[in-house]
Structure 1
Amino acid sequence: MKRFRILKNHLILAILLISFSCNAQVKDCEVAELDNELIKRGEEDQAVREEVIPVAMEYQKTGKGAFKMIRLVAKQNRVDKKNQKFVAKMIEKCGWPNELSSESHNAIYLIIQHSDLEFIDKYIGQVKEKAIAGLLDKDDYATMLDRKLMYEGKAQLFGTQTFQAEDKVNLVWPIADVENLAARRDSVSLPSMEEYFALAKKEYDVDMRWDKSLSLEEAKEMKE
């Protein structure tokens, strides 16, 4: 009887693994079906972050909830990897159809944005094309470009990226050509840095600091 239960559990696990694998597949390129799948994945992307953010903020402020944060970050990473696999297969098989809904375009953007440098580097050109075509917001491309530059250890252009220093302060990653920053942000409909900080404080109770004298070398050391 015990052996039967073990075999039964193994069978159930195998079925679940097969189902999981199938869920990552792109069955066809019908826009309606892609829309349904992408919208679901976009909602999942945001839902797991809604779980992580308050726990991470509490840990940042009080040092409490470390194990819960680790568990949720692991969950977030699993969701991200699963979604990235789907988007990669979709683009390989179907391209990135312009006919998708705005929700689906945004979902693809979020899934790429929440990936590593290699994945971003592979698809950022298509994100730029969609932004130029008006299928994504202009600040979407600006934000992804900034993230790519930060991952590469380079100065960002639009001031959208921050990192947490050892003292748990959120610092703005160094920005190139600060004198023309306001014009660049305005060109992609980003608010001023002051408005950006105020919004972060209001929406997430996050305090940001912009040290304009911070060098790339210093930022890299602090980020590690």
Structure 2
Amino acid sequence: MRVILVLLLLATGAAAEQSPADRTVGRPEFAAVRTELLAIVESDQKYREAYNELARIHPVPDAEMRTLTRNMQEADAANLPKLEAILAQHGWLGPDDVGPDASGAFFLVIQHSNLPTQKKYLPAMREAVKAGKARGSSLALLEDRIELHEGRPQIYGSQLRSDGGGALYVQAMIDPDHVDERRAAVGLPPMADYLKRWDLTWDLAAYKARLPDLIAKLSTAVRRPPKPQSP
């Protein structure tokens, strides 16, 4: 089953507008750390961008997909100790410290790590959000992923999965009637706007009718954890 899990906080915007060599962003004493974080972001994203482009092809070329998946896993394994070393020395660095593009590396690497690592750094990310060093929307995505990995419905409806034939659907969530209220509280757009990115329509009634089946699929997802992706 092909899996595409979708993230909102990406290395876009500021990252696209600023050169990795630009040391004027953030605090001068973190210029070298900013450069290292930007390199981590680039490493995290490049194979995922190629993966998601390839996933749009039907049928998906299996050999190429396996290669990209392996490349992503290797990049993730290499990025985590680098990020952990930065965390140990400097703590969680926010946009004011290293710029919003480089600061996004903390979320990306943790989001793309295994469940024990995600849970290990969840409290740190919650504190970073309180301190204005990370986005509430990013925390919501991490919380959704942890919930699904542990066999529980997600909270914010951020995580999508392929049905195996290339069609995407929103994985099981709690209380879909009020999901847009929860999303608004953490800075996420309404489901209808969010799903337009993949040419999907948010049909609440249809989703609720399908929800029991989606919940039943959670045990399968726990046995076969999805590979984290981002556009």
Aligned AA for 1:109?
A: F
Higher helix share: 1
Alignment partners' CA distance in 2, 1:104 and 1:213: 40
Q: Secondary structure at the match of 2:152?
A: coil
The change in CA–CA distance for 1:208 and 1:45 in structure 2 (over 3 A counts) is: farther
Matched residue, 1:62? 59
Aligned AA for 1:66?
A: D
Matched residue, 1:123? 121
Unaligned runs of 5+ in 2: 1-28, 225-231
TM-score of the aligned structures, taking structure 2 as reference length: 0.73
Q: Secondary structure at the match of 1:110?
A: helix
Matched residue, 2:84? 88
Q: Which moved more, 1:213-222 or 1:105-114?
A: 213-222
Q: Secondary structure at the match of 1:189?
A: coil
Question: CA contact under 8 A between 1:166 and 1:222: conserved in structure 2?
Answer: no
The change in CA–CA distance for 1:208 and 1:88 in structure 2 (over 3 A counts) is: farther
1:207 Cα deviation after fit? 8.1
Q: Mapping of 1:35-114 within 5 angstroms? A: 35-58=34-57, 61-63=58-60, 65-98=61-94, 99-114=97-112
Q: Which protein has greater RCO, CA pairs closer than 8 Å, 6+ apart?
A: 2
Q: CA RMSD in A?
A: 2.3
Q: Secondary structure at the match of 2:113?
A: coil
2:121 is equivalent to residue 139 of structure 1? no
1:161 Cα deviation after fit? 0.9
- Specify the structure having the higher radius of gyration (Cα): 1
Q: Secondary structure at the match of 1:49?
A: helix
Q: Which moved more, 1:152-161 or 1:179-188?
A: 179-188
Deviations 1:41-84 (A, max 9, x none): 112212221222111221xx224x11111111111111111111
Alignment partners' CA distance in 2, 1:162 and 1:181: 15
Q: Which moved more, 1:145-154 or 1:171-180?
A: 171-180
TM-score of the aligned structures, taking structure 1 as reference length: 0.75
Aligned counterpart for 1:194 among listed residues 189, 192, 195 = 192
The change in CA–CA distance for 1:148 and 1:118 in structure 2 (over 3 A counts) is: same
Task: Report % sequence identity.
Answer: 24
Matched residue, 1:16? none
The change in CA–CA distance for 1:102 and 1:208 in structure 2 (over 3 A counts) is: same
Alignment partners' CA distance in 2, 1:91 and 1:220: 33
Matched residue, 2:5? none
Matched residue, 1:212? 211
Question: CA contact under 8 A between 2:34 and 2:99: conserved in structure 1?
Answer: yes
Matched residue, 2:150? 152
Question: CA contact under 8 A between 1:112 and 1:119: conserved in structure 2?
Answer: yes
Alignment partners' CA distance in 2, 1:44 and 1:219: 30
